[in-house]
């Protein structure tokens, strides 16, 4: 198995559009992305949780998530890139840093989160998607999908690199500038309504903002049909 950095660098060069980063997330970034899991851990008799990680890549954040899971929890990993899926599958099978805690179910799925249709919604969704690489309407689709995938009161956590959009606006073509401006507007509209926590993580390459959202009901109107919520009172 190649090292995570080597695989990541290769995918950065071969699939920049979906990879969007030069290196896996740092421990500091992973720690902050897991904020909602730490929070709920304090409640001794809280029920098992369903957690979704979107775009786990080589598993830099996955390892931290695993460290926060309790018996009965379930973790789904949805990754679009088959090379990352292969790497992560092997890591989950044989790398001690990816030890799955007892009575925890972990499932790795290959495909786009836009097509992911689970049986039940999640309490926590953690995303590594490189939002700046997409069109504004795609970013809106991702955010809507995240809202649809989480139960009311659930937490969605994601990051964006600090200043990258502003920096690229200086050097990019008019079309790219307009795309980046559009992404900023889409993110601002959602964050101003649903953000519950924001932290700056300087210890990452590049430094990042981590955003935590809590979508309440009613959900955004553009969502696809509802997930059956029978087992989520």
- Residues lying near ligand SAM in the complex (CB under 6 A): 18-21, 24-25, 54-57, 60-61, 78-81, 84, 112-114, 128-130
What is the largest distance, in Å, between two alpha-carbon atoms of the chain? 54
Given CA atoms 93, 97, 101, 107 in this order, what sign does their dihedral have? negative
Least separation in angstroms between residue 45's CB and ligand SAM is 31
Q: What is the dihedral of CA 76, 120, 129, 55, to 10 degrees?
A: 20
- Which residue reads 């695993």 in tokens? 66
Least separation in angstroms between residue 184's CB and ligand SAM is 18
**Closer residue to ligand SAM (CB): 3 or 193:** 3
**Closer residue to ligand SAM (CB): 29 or 213:** 29
**Closer residue to ligand SAM (CB): 32 or 123:** 32
Least separation in angstroms between residue 161's CB and ligand SAM is 9
Least separation in angstroms between residue 230's CB and ligand SAM is 27
**Closer residue to ligand SAM (CB): 152 or 223:** 223
Least separation in angstroms between residue 131's CB and ligand SAM is 9
**Closer residue to ligand SAM (CB): 50 or 145:** 145
Least separation in angstroms between residue 119's CB and ligand SAM is 19
Least separation in angstroms between residue 149's CB and ligand SAM is 12
Position closest to ligand SAM via CB:
55
**Closer residue to ligand SAM (CB): 46 or 222:** 222
CA angle 55, 58, 63 (to 5 degrees): 90
Phi and psi dihedrals of 115, rounded to 5? -110, 5
**Closer residue to ligand SAM (CB): 86 or 112:** 112
């Amino acid at each position: 198995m190649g090292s995570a950095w080597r695989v990541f660098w290769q995918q950065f060069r071969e699939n920049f559009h979906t990879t969007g980063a030069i290196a896996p997330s740092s421990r500091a970034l992973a720690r902050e992305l897991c904020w909602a899991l730490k929070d709920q851990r304090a409640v001794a008799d809280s029920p098992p949780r369903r957690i979704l990680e979107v775009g786990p890549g080589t598993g830099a954040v996955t390892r931290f998530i695993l460290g926060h899971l309790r018996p009965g929890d379930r973790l789904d990993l949805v990754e679009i890139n088959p090379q990352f899926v292969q790497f992560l599958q092997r890591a989950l099978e044989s790398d001690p840093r990816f030890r799955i805690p007892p009575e925890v179910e972990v499932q790795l799925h290959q495909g786009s989160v836009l097509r992911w249709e689970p049986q039940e919604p999640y309490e926590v969704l953690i995303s590594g998607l490189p939002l700046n690489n997409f069109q504004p309407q795609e970013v809106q689709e991702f955010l809507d999908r995240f809202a649809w995938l989480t139960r009311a009161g659930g937490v969605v956590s994601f990051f964006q690199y600090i200043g990258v959009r502003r920096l690229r606006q200086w050097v990019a073509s008019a079309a790219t500038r307009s795309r980046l401006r559009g992404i900023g507007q889409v993110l601002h509209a959602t964050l101003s309504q649903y953000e519950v926590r924001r932290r700056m993580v300087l210890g990452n390459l590049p430094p990042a903002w981590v955003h935590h959202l809590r979508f309440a009901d009613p959900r955004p109107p553009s969502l696809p049909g509802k997930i059956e919520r029978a087992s989520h009172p």
